[in-house]
Amino acid sequence: MFRGFYTAASGMLAQQRRTEMLSNNMANVNTPGYKADQTVLRAFPEMLLKRIDKTKVPVEGQLNTTVGETIGPLHTGVYLQETIPLFMQGDLRETEQKTDLALVDVNMPLNNNNEKGSVFFTIQHPSGELLYTRNGDFTIDAQGFLTTASGLYVLDDQGNQIRLSSDQFAVNDQGIVIGVGGETARLGIGYTNNPYALIKEGDGLFRTENGNQLANAFNAQGVQFKLQQGFLEGSNVDTSRTMTDMMTSYRAFEANQKVLQAYDRSMEKAVNEIGKL
């Protein structure tokens, strides 16, 4: 009986966390470059129940022996194992802002798991750590450096900060930045053939698991992409699918809640009525 409590409660917890993840996706539906999270639910290990009895062997001395009778399998509920970003290309939205840049996947080779790789802008954290993002909503700070909206430096392909004399610069489809003062740089674009190995940092940023720098996308074999100035890559959240999943998750939570209430009523009867006998 108590095991049933744990099984139903585990289902409620898993659906609650899934709903929180879906709500976060909906909240970021208009965030440039946002990659929707997906959940992976997994069942706890299944156990095989047996009943052990003693039986007497009809021989002299009445020997006792144990006999195991199989009752059946017992499922112990589910848990939310992990959330995984979906690295599908988002739709492009024209902004006509010179500081807005979008990465467009043209051809991404498949890895051994039949999954496409991905390219990212290279960003420098104040600690010096390299981070990566698909959010090209950039700006020029007071010192003339190209930064993200949160103030992190955008790096070139040599790992240097990009400094421009004004926000009236041009970027071609190969990532070459040309300022009005004649300054030039090439945007640092990293490539990984397994984006699912990246760790999500929040605010649209990712980092590598071991802290190593991603490969230069311009030199990666078979990788084809381009940059578009005056555009932003939108979120890849599917709003209609997300709303449907949220309703499904809510109904599953509700069903587990009713099972838990049924167990509670059964335990109440066991304590108040059977206990009187």
The predicted-structure confidence for 101-150, as pLDDT tens digits, reads as follows 999 999 999 988 889 999 999 999 999 999 999 999 999 999 999 999 99
The b/e string for 174-197 (b: 16+ C-beta within 10 A; e otherwise) is: ebebebeeeeebbbbbbbbbebee
pLDDT for position 54:
62
Whether 8 has a pLDDT exceeding 70, the answer reads: yes
What angle is formed at CA 95 by the lines to CA 92 and CA 96, rounded to 5 degrees?
Answer: 120
Confidence of residue 17 (pLDDT cuts 50, 70, 90): very high
- Residues 35 and 87 sit within 8 Å (Cβ to Cβ): yes
Whether 225 has a pLDDT exceeding 60, the answer reads: yes
Whether 175 has a pLDDT exceeding 90, the answer reads: yes
Q: What is the dihedral of CA 173, 100, 36, 212, to 10 degrees?
A: 70
The residue that leads in pLDDT, 92 or 68, is 92
Confidence of residue 56 (pLDDT cuts 50, 70, 90): low
H-assigned helices in the chain: 2-27, 239-272
pLDDT for position 60:
60
Percent of the chain whose pLDDT exceeds 90: 65
Residue 99's closest CA among 204, 203, 227, 251? 227
User: 73 by DSSP, 3-state: which?
Assistant: strand
The model carries a pTM of 0.82
SS3 of the chain: helix, strand, coil, percent, to 5? 25, 40, 35
Confidence of residue 44 (pLDDT cuts 50, 70, 90): confident
pLDDT for position 15:
94
Whether 6 has a pLDDT exceeding 90, the answer reads: no
Judged by average pLDDT, the poorest of 70-79, 132-141, 246-255 is: 70-79
Domain boundaries, the chain: 1-82, 87-233
The residue that leads in pLDDT, 78 or 15, is 15
pLDDT for position 190:
97
